[in-house]
Structure 1
Amino acid sequence: MTKTILITGASSGLGAEMARQFADRGHDLALGARRTEKLEALKGEILARHPQRRIEIRALDVTDDDQVFEVFHAFADDFGTLDRVVINAGLGKGTPLGTGRYDANRETAMTNFIGALAQAEAAMEIFRAQERGHLVMISSMSAMRGMPKAMTTYAATKAGVAHLAEGLRAELHGTRIKVSVIYPGFIDSEMNDVPGAQPFQVSTEKGVKAIVHAIEKEKASASVPPLPWAPLGVVMKLAPDAVMKKMV
């Protein structure tokens, strides 16, 4: 069954690959990101493979509250309905607290948490009016516990968005509005564009395949890829601080 799926942060990385793979599965797309030239290129690429798909694109800066609500409702008007919203846009920058780069940590917090809050508000307005829908929050395995060094703020934002989604899921239990939280491990993307591969890092295509599979199953919660991240999530929660400091 064809669904209409809104994806934010769709110009590159996980968002762009999710768009490709959802289109491969027969879904129509509403794609938002700041870099509209990349969205245009992605749209052309997908339509070359799937000319029957419908793809709408709009400029979207998730730190602009008014634009978030405007764009989400415009996409809903375009299609007449939104079946699924994937809150994916985010930043990976950050520095250890107290080292003079509050600006970087604040930007990450505003984009990853406040931006996600605005997106969740806009999506839920649409879903409540429709009385159905599927909200998907892309979190991170770093949300499993507080993380040291440059990861501290990023991990806190990803824990925060996971709790937003979990709270909504509890509230909406038994309704036709479903909520999923996805916890990706190390997946090759612009956000992980650092020298040397991270432990257990997988390609964008493989990592997103696991993400898309979990989303299509409407899983309440999923660590992806499941191996090794599902068992590692348990280890991360229980590991002593000294071990976590060495791991990150």
Structure 2
Amino acid sequence: MGFLKRFFKNVFHDGATAPTGNSFEHLSEEQIEAHLGVNRYNSFELTDAVRPSYDLKVVPSQGYRRDVYHDEETRASVPVLMAAATKSVLFDVFMDLLEPLGSEVDVVLETSHTRDGAGHVDLYREHIDLPVLKSILWEYEDLLLNDGCTGIAVLNPNIPLEVQFDEHKLLIVYGNELTSFAEILDDRYVRNSDDIRFITEAEHVHSSSEKYQQQFEELKMRLGMDGHYC
């Protein structure tokens, strides 16, 4: 199932409500297909997982910005780095960002394959050696890059630090000390930009397939995940 077949299952920014009128509403099938077939904006190449709105209120670009996440329940504030990288370097950058987490980590797999945009299911695995995890993830690079219904987070709760590679193929790092992560992004030519906007900040479309859903189930088993929390 590609972009066009999934078109009417648009997924918008987490927590947002789909607008009653969107940028695709009055387009012909040919116009929609042409837009969803575009995978490059200037020097930035998208993966197959997601496409921006037809009106391009956000034009995808490479870079990162600093932000703060506010937890409404605990009233805690946590520094955040949020980044977008072009397809050719994206997975390498993600793997590099895992190194500061330490030798043993926890893993969360996020899936919306069966939720039709109504939410996610998160599957948790504790205590896995980072080299073992990275070896498994390299085997599923295609899934993690190109499936718009799969996301992953790797964390060390003892520090605490978390690196998230979400369904939109954005890289998000949470933690009080983020200097080493910013240096990794800079070394990979993912530069700091306070003005950068991300694809989640406007209407966008996700894509998946039965093949990726099957691969997700395989990855879940490889990681020893048989339960979930929401």
Alignment TM class, shorter chain as reference: under 0.3
Structure whose residues are more often helix by fraction: 1
**TM-score (norm: length of structure 1):** 0.26
- Greater RCO (Cα-Cα under 8 Å, separation 6 or more): 2
Structure whose residues are more often strand by fraction: 2
